[in-house]
Amino acid sequence: MAINDLGYRKWALKPTRDRQQWWTIAGFGIRVAWRSNWLRRIFIMAWIPIFVMGVGLFVIEQSIQDVDVESDEFPQNIGRFFVAAILIQRPEISNISVLTLSNQLSEVPNGVPEEWASTRPDDLTLSRIRRGGLEFQVEDLEFVINMSDEKLKLVQEVTNSAMWRQLRQVRRIGGRSPTTPLVKQSFSTFKYSQKVAADLIEFDHNGDGLVDFRELVDYMRPTLWSEVLFLFFRLPQAFTVVIVIGMVAPKLISRDMKNRAFLLYYSRPISPWQYLLGKCAVVWAFLAGLTTLPALLLYILGLSLSPDMTVFFHTWQLPLRILLASIVLCVPTTLFALMLSSLTRESRRASFAWFAGWIMGSIAYTIMTTVEAIVGVQQQQSMNPSDQAMVFVEAGLAGRWAWLSPMQTLENMQSWVFGIDKQVGNLNVSFIMVGLVCLACLAILRRRIDSPIRV
């Protein structure tokens, strides 16, 4: 019988699937992308900030070793004041410093100390440092914990008013730079300060009723390291990640559609999800080399440069935070970039849409924040020029339109991961927007990847 007379026959064998086939796709994509000289140069430049920030961790740890040295002579007094200046920048510490004063100063009938209405918050904190450093009586911390919400709201209003007066003075007469952060304190920030006060009581290890400067530094040491690591993710790596994804991801699916490479992929027993996982792994490999590995190396470098290796017991959770921050950055950006790549056969169009999305998002965030401030100024025509400028500053700090900016949204989520409370706008909105974008990208990707084999 001639072979062409057999016709079609049913395949009787059981098909087998290799769960590791996605790695073959990923390995090929990584090798092809790594051929770019520009990509290798960017990687070299991205690793340089590690050593700069490693020196910063060394300076912090060296200064922490000197916090117990109470001397007015140079350079013995550098460490104590350097660490104190960093701690003052933390909202929870500056708020506790202000809140504890209400248990020490005389109160007026409305429940607010007179000194709060005339003194700037950073002056109050600096006076405490000059008297021997930042330290808190357990009695004062318990007073903060037991403060009612009404009293906290009253302190919040007074503190924000003092902050605005401080900013106006710096703007008008070029006064000295403020020591405490110029951020409008929300009520949730003051509530979080109560939680920190409760945690600080547990750090009174010797039971003398005083959380001294050394015990305060031991409690805040993970936060100090988190500040450096978050700065690493935010400044040098954020822009590098956008560039690298724009170079790698737009080509991964669009070229397969253009060259009909799906015929080769789906001639093997591979599922669409394995194909998508392989393409995602290509991007994740490069992002891990830009964010995760450098950040872990920075942490190890900080440990090796630290004069006291006991810092590991205070910062052991930071590697886990680094991994989680990397996931927060890698997953939504990769899905969005691959979704754009799947919508066109021309990779340059996907690259343009990728960069345009980041740029236009930042521009939209700036425009909407400016419009919000202009509307606020128009509603209060009697404001003087200085107060009008404060409206623009307040609108920027509120960040109600931060969800329009992909960069700001991811920064908000990463600041939450590192636990340093530097969000602009509503954190819940940031998580909701990222979740919706990821689901939409997955739905589009699945439909576009299934289209070559859909009957």
Tokens of 282: 């290509």
Does 249 fall in a domain?
Answer: yes
Residue-wise pLDDT for 121-135, tens only, equals: 444 455 555 444 577
Does 78 fall in a domain?
Answer: yes
pLDDT band at 355 (very low <50, low <70, confident <90, very high): very high
Torsion of CA 42, 46, 51, 56, to 10 degrees: 150
Task: Determine the angle formed by the axes of helices 138-145 and 187-202, rounding to 10 degrees.
Answer: 140
Q: What counts of helices (H) and strands (E) characterise the chain?
A: 21, 2
Does 104 fall in a domain?
Answer: yes
Q: How confident is the model over 253-280, as a mean pLDDT?
A: 83
3-state secondary structure of 235: coil
Q: Sign of dihedral through CA atoms 106, 110, 111, 112?
A: negative
Does 414 fall in a domain?
Answer: yes
Shared-domain flag, residues 401 and 299: yes
Q: How far apart are CA 106 and CA 227, in angstroms?
A: 36
Does 444 fall in a domain?
Answer: yes
Shared-domain flag, residues 189 and 253: no
Shared-domain flag, residues 209 and 91: yes
Task: Determine the angle formed by the axes of helices 121-130 and 149-173, rounding to 10 degrees.
Answer: 90
Q: How confident is the model over 270-294, as a mean pLDDT?
A: 88
Tokens of 317: 């959770």
Percent of all residues in the chain with a pLDDT value above 90, rounded to a whole number: 11
pLDDT band at 262 (very low <50, low <70, confident <90, very high): confident
Does 111 fall in a domain?
Answer: yes
Shared-domain flag, residues 441 and 404: yes
3-state secondary structure of 61: helix
In this model, does residue 414 exceed pLDDT 80? yes
pLDDT band at 79 (very low <50, low <70, confident <90, very high): low
Residue-wise pLDDT for 85-115, tens only, equals: 777 777 778 778 777 766 655 444 444 444 4
141 exposure class (CB count in 10 Å sphere: 0-12, 13-18, 19+): buried
Shared-domain flag, residues 217 and 240: no
Q: 90 and 84 in contact (C-beta within 8 Å)?
A: no
Residue-wise pLDDT for 179-227, tens only, equals: 444 445 667 777 778 888 888 888 877 777 788 777 887 888 888 888 8
Shared-domain flag, residues 142 and 173: yes
For residue 349, what are the CA distances in angstroms to 17, 344, 356, 370? 34, 7, 10, 31
For residue 388, what are the CA distances in angstroms to 134, 178, 366, 380, 391? 36, 21, 17, 9, 5
Please, what is the end-to-end C-alpha distance for the chain in angstroms? 32
Q: How many folded domains does the chain comprise? A: 2
3-state secondary structure of 308: coil
88 exposure class (CB count in 10 Å sphere: 0-12, 13-18, 19+): buried
Q: How far apart are CA 434 and CA 413, in angstroms?
A: 10
Shared-domain flag, residues 78 and 125: yes
Shared-domain flag, residues 267 and 209: no
Of the residues 206, 226, 246, which one is the last residue of a structural domain? 226
Shared-domain flag, residues 219 and 281: no
Q: Does a cis peptide bond (omega within 30 degrees of 0) precede residue 269?
A: no
Does 55 fall in a domain?
Answer: no
The mean of the pLDDT values for the chain is: 76
CA angle centred on 358, ends 33 and 354, rounded to 5° = 40
Per-residue pLDDT, 108: 40
Beta strands in 243-293 (DSSP E): none
Other beta carbons within 10 angstroms of residue 138's beta carbon come to 16
Does 435 fall in a domain?
Answer: yes
Of the residues 198, 226, 254, which one is the last residue of a structural domain? 226
Shared-domain flag, residues 255 and 204: no
Q: How far apart are CA 389 and CA 376, in angstroms?
A: 11
Of the residues 200, 226, 252, which one is the last residue of a structural domain? 226
- The residues pairing with 136 across neighbouring beta strands, listed in sequence order, are 211
pLDDT band at 385 (very low <50, low <70, confident <90, very high): low
Domain that holds residue 184: 67-226
For residue 24, what are the CA distances in angstroms to 16, 29, 277, 278? 17, 9, 11, 7
Q: 335 and 435 in contact (C-beta within 8 Å)?
A: no
Tokens of 319: 């590697």
Residue-wise pLDDT for 156-178, tens only, equals: 776 666 554 544 444 444 444 44
Shared-domain flag, residues 161 and 289: no
Tokens of 354: 């990728």
Shared-domain flag, residues 337 and 358: yes
Longest dimension (CA), the chain: 109
